[in-house]
Amino acid sequence: MEKGEIRINTENIFPIIKKAVYSDHEIFLRELVSNGVDAISKRRMASMAGDCENTEEAQVIITINREQNTLTISDNGIGMNDEEIKKYINQVAFSSAEEFLTKYKKDNDEFIGHFGLGFYSSFMVADRVDILTKSAIGESKAFKWSCDGSPNFTLEESERVSIGTDVILHLLEEEKEFIEPERIKSLIKKYCDFMPIDVLLEGEIINKKNPPWRKQPNELKDEDYIELYKYLYPFQGDPLLWIHLNTDYPYDIQGILYFPKLSGRADWEKGEIKLFCNQVFVSDSIKEIVPKYLLPLRGVIDSTDIPLNVSRSALQTDRKVRSISSFISKKIANKLKDLIKNSPEFYAEIWDSISAFIKIGAIEDDKFADLVDSSIIFETIINSEKDVTKDIENKSLIKSNDKYFTTLANYKERNKINDSKKIIYCSDLIAQSSALNICLSDNKEVIKSDPLIDAQFLPWLESKNEDYQFQRVDSEINELEDKESNEIVDKDGKSNTDNLRDTIVKALNNEKVTVKVHSLSSKDAPPAMILLPEQMRRINDMGAYMEQKMPGLPEYHVLLINKEHPLIVGLNKITSSKIIIDKKDSIENPLASKIVNHVYDMAKLSVGGLDQEQIIILQNNNAELISELLNSTN
């Protein structure tokens, strides 16, 4: 029997392995099963070279012995002779102890995977580890290696008959959970489910094997992709679409990425894409490998070209990792181009669920923005009486579930926007309904925007394309008003409209409110509307965003009075008669003042410009005003 000392220069290596290298002790099983699969692969290659015989039934077997408190991981791979044991087992991670300690004394979270440690992860859960092994090459004898967690080991001949390796872990008292079959099954499912070799426990194969992402796309049906998604993400429904990654040059990467149906705001920080290396699960936190805007995607990336033993900060600057990230982005962009070209109705149907990925990706990544430029669409609102048949036939418009979608280029073409850059949009169908209806009645087409993402995306589009100028439906009056009719003026040179405006200005007594009076074309137009100039509103919204609160009504705004509305017509009669009869300031009429303020408050209410306390005051004033009007008719 040979005795010796593992080739390290310090004796605190094992405590570091046990406590500092991995955040989860369960990783040891991944390492040992991976080693077994590697040994089987090596035996297969050696047999092809004529150096040994291959095994007929390659498998990794896990055996539990409750009486002895041991867990054994066995393989029928290539095995080792005594010299190989000394080379591969007695040299920790193929590097000096000083380098090893310097690297792994750092925070656990600084590293992704530590495959170089391999076998030594056993000592996180065991106080003694035995190896029984016999090489498949030559007339090798069997050997037994044993270590109690110190730098000391023993190496002696054994009576093992079969070729392969047994790793026997004598578990620590506090690690007895690893002799429970269900615990082992759960770990195999998590880490080794898609390894290419059968993994057995108590005579049962407990891994799926044959990962779909290692196959060619033409070998898989839609059902295969959906089945994998549901297996990886139970109870999440079906995915919207998927992208199959498969390349071996200039780097090796396979995988399947899914666009999920999101039931709420996506997680843009962690992500749920699972990283594999040679079909072995490594991590589900890969924000250093894919762009942030792709983190809400789901699926699998399997690559041997992603370094697993470097810090996360180093991953972010690694040239090959950046190249892989660009490759993934390009594949996704190409998939989107293909969908909008060949399946536009389906693309429009899922647009609401995928638009956030695309828009944020375009803002954050110029190359991605160029790739998806023609794939960005908006829902567009069109007068229901307008015939859009030809637009649908020539694919200028996409119809999906009674909704219409368009690219901005097609929007400008349909609306003959050549000299003007203006693109009208609506971000709230309820709050902006009055202005929207006026636009629609004038046969203007209005795109629908997301109030959160598009608050950043539309200005970004303007900065990238000088032909785009976005204007919200309620931002200006020029497009909302009828031509002024000729009115008779009084001796002071003021028309009835001028006098009405003066009355309202005096009643409001607010220099921050600009009052404008017009005849609005729409029959459904309200008595008054709040208008916010586009740039002023954007500044207000940005300020609210910086303060992390919902945008409110800016102090400075326009009150547009619709003089054709019956309520304003009645108000006009009251103020006009007062002027003629009493020759006094019309605002002396308390009823007129109350009507003016009521109209103004209702306009503010429609755009969310009243807080809860102000709404209660409005309700009280409304009841008082109606009572006064009823009494005045008696």
Cβ neighbours for 233, distance < 8 A, ≥ 6 positions apart: 260, 272, 298
Joined tokens for residue 208: 């799926």
Joined tokens for residue 371: 């790739």
Pairing of β 2-5 and β 152-158: antiparallel
Encode 228-284 in three state secondary structure. HHHHHCCCCCCCCEEEEEEECCCCCEEEEEEECCCCCCCCCCCCEEEEEECCEEEEC
Backbone angles phi, psi at 572, to 5 degrees: -65, -40
75 is in an annotated binding site: yes
Joined tokens for residue 347: 């693309």
Selection from 273, 230, 232, 237 nearest residue 255 by Cα:
273
b/e burial code for range 400-424 (CB count within 10 A of at least 16 → b): beeebbbbbebbbebbebeeeebbb
- CA–CA dist 54, 76 (Å, integer): 9
> Which neighbouring-strand residues pair with 392?
none
> Which neighbouring-strand residues pair with 132?
144, 166
Three-state DSSP class for residue 562: strand
Alpha helix segments (H runs only) across 365-467: 366-372, 389-393, 408-414, 433-441, 454-464
632: alpha, beta or left? (left if phi > 0; alpha if psi -120 to 50): alpha
Burial degree of 94 (CB within 10 A; 0-12, 13-18, 19+): exposed
Three-state DSSP class for residue 426: strand
53 is in an annotated binding site: no
35 is in an annotated binding site: yes
CA distance readout (Å), 188 to 59, 193, 227: 14, 6, 19
80 is in an annotated binding site: yes
Instruction: Tally the C-alpha atoms within 13 A of residue 39's C-alpha that lie toward its C-beta.
Output: 31
Three-state DSSP class for residue 451: coil
CA distance readout (Å), 52 to 81, 111, 128, 137, 138: 14, 38, 32, 5, 7
Taking a C-beta distance cutoff of 8 angstroms, is the pair 592, 574 a contact? yes
Reported as type and span, the H/E element at residue 450 is: none
304 is in an annotated binding site: no
Selection from 461, 460, 403, 471 nearest residue 432 by Cα:
471
Instruction: Tally the C-alpha atoms within 13 A of residue 169's C-alpha that lie toward its C-beta.
Output: 25
540 is in an annotated binding site: no
- CA–CA dist 456, 361 (Å, integer): 12
DSSP string, 67-100: TTTEEEEEE-S----HHHHHHHTSSGGGS-HHHH
Selection from 485, 463, 266 nearest residue 358 by Cα:
266
Reported as type and span, the H/E element at residue 475 is: none
Alpha helix segments (H runs only) across 139-256: 181-191, 222-232
Residue with tokens 């499912």: 189
Binding residues: 31, 35, 75, 80, 165, 312
Binding residues for ATP: 31, 35, 75, 80, 165, 312
